[in-house]
Structures are given as structure tokens and as C-alpha cells.
């Protein structure tokens, strides 16, 4: 019986020691602003510059298409007026009406083509932005893990502002727990040297291309 009691006491003591050791394990959380690191990543800046350059080309092409449509619209209106001009012979009015009909169809086709061109290129840029974000966030996450391990952290929380609520998931943290700047420095350590040129404009905060106006609507040909 005494042997059994001693064994139980020993097991209980070991369990107490193990539980105490577990309870005293250091809890060291850290925080990082993932969005800030993403926006400050040199690869993000380079990609945004390319997106904007591509978006400008798309806008230039749409501006040219819109100008052509406006010119066709002017021609269309002239033909409509001719088709309604009672001074002209019926044959001339009928020809003007037929020409106006063809011109209107051409305008509608060009409007549709321009809108499709705009939509396709916007979708293309959005897909490229998603690919960029997915790839860079994966890269940034790896850096965050490495920094956290080096600091002996047991937990890392993202303090970025939520796009849904508009507020950060972490209301307050001591600056000593924030590794954002350290991670940002690490991801930019391989930034290539800037070429000797005038200071470049800062990259925009959103990757969307410059807005392009939709082609002006043109009415369908009218009967005389």
C-alpha cells in the first residue's frame, strides 16, 4: 500500500511540474500591417507603374475611338437632316435615309467594340493585380514567419484595416510588438538601384488604370 501511495504521489508531482512548465511557457505575440508592407514593397511599385502605363495606352485608344464615333455621329446627323429636307428630291432623301441607317449601324458597332475593348482590358488588369497580390502576400508571409521565429514569437497578428469594416482588427498595440517596418525593410533588401533619372512620381495607392470615358450614345436613324 505504501508503495502504491508513493507511486501516486510521484506521478502527481511529475504532472504538477509538467503543468507548471507548460503554464510558464512564454507567450510572445507580435503584430504586422500586411497591407502596409504590400504597398511599400518595391515589386508592388514596379507593377503599379506598368499597370498605369498600360491603362494609359488603353485610354488613348478609347479616346481615339470616341473621337471617330463623334465624327460619325456628325455625319449621321447630316444624313438625317438630308432625309428630312423636303427641298431634295424623293430619291435623294431616300438615299440619305439609307446612308443614315448604315451610318447608325456602324456607330453602334464601334460603340460596342469600344465598350468590349474597355471591359476586356479592365478585366485583364484586375486579373494581373490579383496574381500580383497573391504572389507578394505569399512572399511577405514567409518573411513575417522568419522574422517572428528569429524573435521567438509564438503568435503574429495582422493589424491591417479591414476592407469590410474600415477599421483595423487590432485596436491597440505597443510599438515594441510591431514588426511592420522590420518586415518592410527585409522584403526591400533586394530592391534594384534606381537608374540615374529625374525623380519618379510615387506609385498610386490603387492599381486601377486611369478611368476612360464611355463612347457617347448616338440615336438610331429616324424615318422621314
When pLDDT is cut at 50, 70 and 90, the band that residue 211 belongs to is very low
pLDDT of 7 reads: 54
The C-alpha cell that represents 186 in the structure block: 527585409
Local structure of 111: helix, strand or coil = helix
Note the pTM of the prediction, 2 decimals: 0.66
Q: Where are the beta strands (DSSP E) in 26-137?
A: 29-32
Q: Is the pLDDT of residue 4 over 70?
A: no
When pLDDT is cut at 50, 70 and 90, the band that residue 165 belongs to is confident
* Pairwise CA distance, residues 13 & 146, whole Å: 38
The pLDDT tens digits for 111-147 are: 999 999 999 999 999 999 999 999 999 999 999 999 9
6-20, 87-101, 173-187, 209-223, range with the lowest pLDDT = 209-223
Local structure of 190: helix, strand or coil = coil
* E strand or H helix at 67: helix 42-83
Scan for cell 474600415, then name that residue.
Answer: 166
- CB of 27 closer than 8 Å to CB of 152: no
* Pairwise CA distance, residues 224 & 85, whole Å: 9
Percentage of residues in the chain having pLDDT higher than 70? 76
Q: Is the pLDDT of residue 12 over 60?
A: no
pLDDT of 199 reads: 59
Amino acid at each position: 500500500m505504501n508503495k502504491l501511495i508513493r507511486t501516486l504521489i510521484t506521478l502527481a508531482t511529475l504532472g504538477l511540474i509538467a503543468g507548471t512548465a507548460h503554464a510558464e511557457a512564454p507567450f510572445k505575440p507580435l503584430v504586422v500591417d500586411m497591407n502596409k508592407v504590400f504597398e511599400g514593397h518595391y515589386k508592388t511599385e514596379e507593377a503599379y507603374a506598368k499597370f498605369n502605363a498600360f491603362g494609359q495606352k488603353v485610354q488613348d485608344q478609347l479616346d481615339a475611338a470616341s473621337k471617330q464615333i463623334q465624327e460619325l455621329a456628325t455625319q449621321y446627323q447630316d444624313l438625317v437632316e438630308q432625309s428630312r429636307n423636303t427641298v431634295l428630291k424623293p430619291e435623294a432623301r431616300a438615299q440619305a435615309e439609307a446612308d443614315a441607317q448604315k451610318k447608325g449601324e456602324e456607330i453602334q458597332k464601334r460603340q460596342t467594340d469600344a465598350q468590349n475593348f474597355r471591359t476586356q482590358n479592365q478585366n485583364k488588369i484586375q486579373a494581373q493585380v490579383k496574381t500580383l497580390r497573391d504572389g507578394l502576400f505569399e512572399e511577405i508571409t514567409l518573411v513575417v514567419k522568419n522574422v517572428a521565429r528569429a524573435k521567438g514569437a509564438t503568435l503574429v497578428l495582422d493589424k491591417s484595416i479591414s476592407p469590410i469594416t474600415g477599421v483595423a482588427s487590432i485596436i491597440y498595440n505597443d510599438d515594441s510588438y510591431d514588426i511592420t517596418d522590420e518586415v518592410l525593410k527585409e522584403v526591400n533588401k533586394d530592391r534594384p538601384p534606381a537608374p540615374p533619372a529625374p525623380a519618379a512620381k510615387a506609385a498610386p495607392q490603387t492599381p486601377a488604370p486611369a478611368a476612360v470615358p464611355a463612347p457617347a450614345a448616338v440615336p438610331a436613324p429616324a424615318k422621314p
